[in-house]
Amino acid sequence: MESKRSAIVTLAGILEERRALLKDKISKPDEGALFEIANRYDLRHRKAGQRGEYDEVFLDWIFWWYLATVELTNRLVASRLASAES
């Protein structure tokens, strides 16, 4: 379970680096939801008040959601680069 949590934290870090791109392409509430889950559910900061009692399948869902969002940002970056080269 710790390796899944670690993978999610890594993906969240990539998304954090691309936060400006996400803000530009999706609405603010949707962009904020990505980080709210990582921050409120004992994934990134590991604070006492965070939620931590959930099934391992929840981590699977978050992992695939974040991975898909990283892929989305990869495509957005590629699209911007292609437009700039045209």
Predicted pLDDT of residue 74? 96
Spell out the residues 6+ positions from residue 34 whose beta carbon is closer than 8 angstroms to its own.
Answer: 12, 15, 22, 66, 69
In the chain, the number of structural domains is 1
What global pTM score does this model have? Answer: 0.79
Instruction: Assign 17 to helix, strand or coil.
Output: helix
Instruction: Single out the residue of 64, 63, 66, 68 nearest to residue 2, CA to CA.
Output: 63
| Distance between CA atoms of residues 58 and 62, nearest Å | 6
pLDDT tens by residue, 4-45: 888 988 998 999 899 888 888 876 777 777 777 777 766 665
Domain interval for residue 9? 2-85
